[in-house]
Amino acid sequence: MARIVMKFGGTSMAGIERIRSVAARVKREADAGNEVAVVVSAMAGETDRLVGFCREASPLYDPREYDVVVSAGEQVTSGLLAITLQAMGVKARSWLGWQLPIHTSDAFAKARIGTIDTEALNDSLAAGEVAVIPGFQGVNEGRVTTLGRGGSDTSAVAVAAAMQADRCDIYTDVDGVYTTDPRIVPRARKLNKVTYEEMLELASVGAKVLQTRSVGLAMKEKVRVQVLSSFTGEDAPMADTLPGTMIVGEEEIDDVERQLITGIAHDKNEAKITLTSVPDKPGAVASIFEPLAEANINVDMIIQNIAHGSGSTDVTFTVPSADLARSIETLNQGREKIGFAELVHDPRVAKVSVVGVGMRSHAGVASTMFTTLGARGINIMAITTSEIKVSVLIHEDETELAVRVLHTAYGLDARDDAA
């Protein structure tokens, strides 16, 4: 018998027929003798609809009331799944965030989970009940809170950690983590196992399989996470016999030394900003990034160019595309303090990254990347690295070509006999 958390996203919960399909999967796990908690998202598109209502009611809405509205989507699906399971003869009940309770910070609309009380939940599981828990929500001093977009993955991992689950199965519209986007590279391979660090890097640089925050929590709490597809037939083998991709610690992957590169990720949601003739003196760079931080704008790649003879330098960095206008406004407001001559921006850029724990013990990863891109005439505008990642900034029109040639250069293409 295993203790399992099953998480289903919005596409899996989009309508009663799909909810019935989810219920059938849950029933199979319960019938096998497993203790099961299920975390659900709102129906696909429902949260966007509720957010739209809030903005229509008032552009300056109260975040506390916003949370009351947008948390309703998960409340609906948790209740519907519990009803459907009961109709199938499965003992089930829903547990809203305030009923467990899931305690969070008071940062409404972007709260962080603190603690989860599991006494009542454990009693329910021991009695043979399936617990259905709405993702994305918690409670702070009697008021409902939400965790920010994509928060249901985080809810699932947090519940799994609190109840000491054997694993957390996250069902999505893909059947695992691939070496890159199969829509760009048809010969991309599904990975059996990925380390927490690799998944965290892949998620942060554009892979959309899991939300970055949930991976970080899984790594911190050592929760074994499995990515599976919810769109396989009802007669498909059980999840523990036909795994998707397991996200685990390095100690569970015995071929780390041989696994040079795990995957190639890309992200077109980047914009490049260059400030010219910034004074080359202590504190000048801080004057650029402090106001951006105060505006809650995340800065990614940063390059300080060679100093000019006039005692100035150029500084280039990237921000999320959605934050470009706010970034420009913020920087122009501080222009006198920063002292730059000109602000140049380019929204038509993309970040391409190679990720793999094998980089720690192998030289030449960056060289291969630069040589491969150069041979295809792809210009590199910026470079950043970490212990297990190399990222470059290129023109967005060259993204797909870069991903394909790098995937081949690192030997990630599936063999004909394994495709």
pLDDT digits (tens, 9 = 90+) for 53-65: 999 999 889 999 9
**Angstrom distance (rounded) from CA 345 to CA 185:** 30
Contact 158, 217 (CB under 8 A): yes
> What is the helix, strand, coil percentage profile of the chain, to 5?
35, 25, 35
Average pLDDT over residues 323-348: 94
Residue 375 phi/psi, 5° resolution?
A: -65, -25
Distances (CA, A) of 312 to 181, 218, 292: 42, 44, 21
pLDDT at res. 137? 97
Q: Rg of the Cα trace of the chain?
A: 23
**Angstrom distance (rounded) from CA 275 to CA 200:** 30
**Angstrom distance (rounded) from CA 17 to CA 370:** 49
Average pLDDT over residues 105-112: 93
pLDDT at 258 over 80: no
* Residue in 284, 321, 322, 316 with CA at minimum distance from that of residue 302: 316
* Residue in 33, 172, 156 with CA at minimum distance from that of residue 90: 33
Specify the DSSP element, H or E, that contains 80: helix 72-87
Least-confidence region, from 29-33, 80-84, 205-209, 286-290: 205-209
Buried b (16+ CB within 10 A) or exposed e, 183-206: ebbebbbbbebbbbbbbbbbbbbb
Average pLDDT over residues 33-47: 96
The angle, 0 to 180 degrees and rounded to 10, between the axes of the packed helices 399-409 and 365-375 is 130
pLDDT band at 418 (very low <50, low <70, confident <90, very high): very low
pLDDT at res. 419? 40
- Cβ count within 10 A of residue 288: 22
Quick one: what percent of the chain has pLDDT higher than 70? 93
Average pLDDT over residues 280-291: 91
pLDDT band at 414 (very low <50, low <70, confident <90, very high): confident
The residue whose two tokens read 């303090």 is 337
**Angstrom distance (rounded) from CA 410 to CA 179:** 11
pLDDT band at 311 (very low <50, low <70, confident <90, very high): confident
pLDDT at res. 150? 79
pLDDT at res. 281? 87
Least-confidence region, from 84-98, 107-121, 186-200, 300-314: 300-314
Handedness of CA 65, 71, 73, 79 (dihedral sign): negative
List residues bridging with 133 in a β-sheet: 39
DSSP 124: H
List residues bridging with 146 in a β-sheet: 137
pLDDT at 215 over 70: yes
pLDDT at 408 over 70: yes
pLDDT tens profile 139-194:
999 999 999 887 999 999 999 999 999 999 999 877 888 999 888 999 999 888 89
Q: How many residues does the chain have?
A: 419
